[in-house]
């Protein structure tokens, strides 16, 4: 039997050269690690956003590329803010991005183990129960320039600490009256090492553990030990945790779960494998784009104040929102690859995100014709009942996408802006007395316009040049412009939602002049129009994307679209129209 070293199992990721993958490669080459295990650890207190897509692609991607695995772990140590609704959406989002987890875990699965680890720390003299109030703890903590002071409760005996901690667990004390703190160094330059809290008292029901626990572990303690419990080798997180790394390492070292099977018994008794190890935390920069806000708190405010239609509003940067907008998993993965992984925090231009979507849809979305601001065009020189179908390629650069039948008839819809009664200089489309090519159908000349009482043009009466029809000898006759159209007889009326950026300024988060991001909402971020689409667009399945020729990329709405009442969302325009707005 031959065996392949794990690191050779790498797929296309082998080409990715970022510093994290280099560390992983080195760890495998040196034998420091034999299998790669990562985790994606969202807190279920909101919906995932575009930033999380970077973490997901990295956590799951690295595991996949190096033949390892990645857990999805819900970091549910803050029961007051968490909700099962989010848990469901998070799983949906990870799957949608194209990843699957080795095991679905919750930090709360480990509460018993974490509790035993805390008792171990107490017995080692590494933790103590502190009776200072939250304000006092803040006072004792010192500042960046001044050391802190030891808590008067720091030197309690192991017995007293154990007794008090057990009574905290038994629910004997009110919220916030005591904490369990690590005994490290109140003079440490790194504030996180100044006897940080490990447990707090909180009489709150938890969505998984109910009322079993009146105490909850703090983030640093729960996170580091959850990684250790699962045998995570590389714990990838964003840069704001860099200052927490010494505490992370301290917790892992002091609890030493890899050599403490007795602490893992509550899990192994339930059938969990013993996997404990010594994880290594590595930080990378957060993904931030201009024209967006990404903090969960601000997104929550937009939803709660009704400034958007919900978490899955297509203008929201949540994965549920951009999915509904028409973003594809492959566009997001492309964006993450283009952005790369580094330790440099920066605000990226939104055109990187939109560009990845355009490139992905340009390559993969089929073409259709749709008219979003319809004006009727009548071919006066063909019979009343004239009707035929024309074969159109579904994709100009991909023959394998095949062709479709596009109905052409005496009456057509064209885009109102493709006609001008008084053409501006350089206008290449239809004018009175002028001619234009109807995409794939022939050349028409406009003879006459029909207006309503208000003087608005409601109909163009045109002559179809029969010699210019496809396959005829005049088919290549040169005209200045080509426009798209939809055959009125078979056209399907469609609701078209024209989405645009939610904010008008690149930095909606600036606090200048007491303004908030809510002051920069773009009133034009959604316009709903009634248009027409060709039958082969109407029959789209929800979430199917198209390029509507000359207009932009659109997606059939995930929830509202049906073949009878099509609803399309504009995902992105064909070109970046913001770049030129200045
Ligand atoms: P927010 O600050 O938006 O509320 P968070 O950091 O609190 O986000 P978590 O649920 O704790 O969100 O995040 C889960 C994982 O996703 C963490 O590892 C976190 O570092 C990562 N992550 C969150 N936001 C970003 C981002 N903008 N770019 C890259 N990774 C991110
Ligand atoms: Mg968080």
Among residues 141, 178, 245, 296, which one is catalytic?
296
Ligand 1 pocket, Cβ-based, cut-off 6 angstroms: 41-43, 51-52, 54-55, 237-238, 286-287, 294-296
Q: Give 40 Cα–ligand 1 centroid separation in angstroms.
A: 10
Is pLDDT above 60 for 4? Answer: no
The ligand placed nearest to the CA atom of residue 55 is 1
DSSP 3-state assignment of 24?
helix
What pLDDT is attached to residue 14?
52
Is pLDDT above 80 for 579? Answer: no
- 43 counts as catalytic: yes
For 362-376, 435-449, 567-581, which range has the lowest pLDDT when averaged over its residues? 567-581
Rounded CA-CA distance 363/357 in Å is 10
Q: Give 42 Cα–ligand 1 centroid separation in angstroms.
A: 7
- pLDDT (tens digit, 9 = 90+) per residue, 542-557? 999 999 999 999 999 9
Q: Give 175 Cα–ligand 1 centroid separation in angstroms.
A: 28
Nearest CA to ligand 1 atom 15: 42
- pLDDT (tens digit, 9 = 90+) per residue, 92-134? 999 999 999 999 999 999 999 999 999 999 999 999 999 999 9
Ligand 1 atom nearest to CA at 59: 18
Fold of 370-484: Ribosomal Protein L25; Chain P (2.40.240)
Residue 275 CA: distances (Å) to CA of 47, 101, 268, 494: 30, 16, 10, 55
Q: Give 52 Cα–ligand 1 centroid separation in angstroms.
A: 6
Domain spans in the chain, listed from the N-terminal domain onward: 286-367+491-582, 370-484
Nearest CA to ligand 1 atom 23: 52
- pLDDT (tens digit, 9 = 90+) per residue, 72-87? 999 999 987 778 899 9
What pLDDT is attached to residue 2?
37
Q: What is the pTM of this model?
A: 0.93
- 477 counts as catalytic: no
- pLDDT (tens digit, 9 = 90+) per residue, 186-210? 999 999 999 999 999 999 999 999 9
Nearest CA to ligand 1 atom 16: 52
Largest CA distance in the chain: 102
> Tokens at residue 303, please?
């939803």
- CATH superfamily membership of 286-367+491-582: Ribosomal Protein L25; Chain P (2.40.240.10)
Q: Would you mind telling me the total number of residues written for the chain in this entry? A: 582
Rounded CA-CA distance 42/72 in Å is 8
Fold match, 286-367+491-582 / 370-484: yes
Give the count of alpha carbons within 13 A of 356, CB side only. Answer: 17
Q: Give 43 Cα–ligand 2 centroid separation in angstroms.
A: 6
What pLDDT is attached to residue 581?
59
Residue 170 CA: distances (Å) to CA of 163, 175, 259, 377, 568: 10, 13, 28, 79, 56
- pLDDT (tens digit, 9 = 90+) per residue, 139-184? 999 999 999 999 999 999 999 999 999 999 999 999 999 999 999 9
- 543 counts as catalytic: no
The ligand placed nearest to the CA atom of residue 238 is 1
* H helical segments located in 489-558: 535-538
Query: What's the mean pLDDT when you consider all of the chain?
Result: 95
């Amino acid at each position: 039997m031959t065996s392949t070293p794990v690191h050779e199992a790498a797929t296309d990721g082998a080409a990715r050269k970022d510093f994290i993958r280099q560390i992983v490669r080195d760890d495998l080459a040196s034998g420091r690690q034999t299998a790669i295990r990562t985790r994606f650890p969202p807190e279920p207190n909101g919906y995932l956003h575009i930033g999380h897509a970077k973490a997901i692609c990295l956590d799951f991607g690295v595991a996949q590329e190096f033949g390892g695995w990645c857990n999805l772990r819900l970091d549910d140590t803050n029961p007051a803010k968490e909700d099962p609704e989010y848990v469901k959406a998070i799983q949906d989002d990870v799957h949608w991005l194209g990843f699957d987890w080795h095991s679905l875990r919750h930090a709360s699965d480990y509460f018993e183990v974490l509790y035993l680890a805390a008792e171990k720390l107490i017995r080692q003299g590494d933790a103590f129960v502190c009776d200072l109030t939250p304000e006092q703890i803040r006072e004792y903590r010192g500042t960046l320039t001044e050391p802190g002071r030891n808590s008067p409760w720091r030197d309690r005996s192991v017995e007293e600490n154990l007794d008090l901690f057990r009574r905290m667990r038994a629910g004997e004390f009110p919220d916030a009256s005591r904490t369990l703190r690590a005994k490290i160094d109140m003079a440490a330059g790194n504030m996180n090492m100044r006897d940080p809290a490990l447990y707090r008292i909180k009489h709150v029901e938890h969505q998984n553990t109910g009322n079993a626990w009146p105490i909850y572990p703090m983030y640093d303690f729960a996170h580091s030990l959850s990684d250790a419990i699962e045998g995570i080798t590389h714990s990838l997180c964003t840069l704001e945790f860099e200052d927490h790394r010494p505490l992370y390492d301290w917790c892992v070292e002091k609890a030493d779960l890899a050599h403490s099977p007795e602490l893992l018994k509550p899990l192994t008794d339930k059938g969990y494998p013993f996997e404990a190890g010594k994880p290594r935390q590595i930080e990378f920069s957060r993904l931030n784009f201009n024209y967006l806000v990404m903090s969960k708190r601000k997104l929550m405010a937009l939803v709660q104040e009704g400034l958007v239609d919900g978490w899955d509003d297509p203008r929201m940067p949540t994965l549920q929102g951009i999915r509904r907008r028409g973003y594809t998993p492959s566009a997001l993965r492309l964006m993450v690859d283009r952005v790369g992984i580094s330790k440099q925090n920066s605000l990226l231009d939104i055109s990187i995100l939109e560009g990845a979507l355009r490139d992905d849809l340009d390559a993969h979305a089929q073409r259709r014709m749709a008219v979003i601001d319809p004006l009727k065009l009548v071919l006066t020189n063909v019979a009343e009942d004239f009707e035929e179908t024309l074969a159109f390629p579904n994709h100009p650069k991909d023959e394998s996408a095949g062709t479709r039948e596009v109905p052409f008839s005496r009456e057509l819809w064209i885009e109102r802006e493709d006609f001008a009664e008084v053409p501006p200089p350089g206008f290449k489309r239809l004018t009175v007395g002028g001619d234009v090519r109807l995409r794939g159908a022939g050349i028409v000349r406009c003879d006459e316009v029909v207006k309503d009482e208000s003087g608005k043009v409601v109909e163009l009466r045109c002559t179809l040049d029969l010699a210019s029809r496809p396959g005829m000898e005049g088919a290549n006759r040169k005209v200045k412009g080509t426009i798209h159209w939809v055959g009125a007889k078979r056209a399907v009326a469609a609701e078209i939602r024209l989405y645009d950026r939610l904010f008008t300024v690149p930095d909606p988060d600036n606090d200048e002049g007491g303004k908030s991001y809510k002051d920069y909402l773009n009133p034009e971020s959604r316009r709903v129009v009634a248009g027409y689409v060709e039958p082969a667009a109407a029959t789209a399945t929800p979430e199917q994307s198209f390029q509507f020729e000359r207009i932009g990329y659109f997606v059939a709405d995930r929830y509202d679209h049906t073949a009878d009442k099509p609803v399309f969302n504009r995902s992105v325009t064909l070109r970046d129209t913001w770049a030129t707005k200045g």
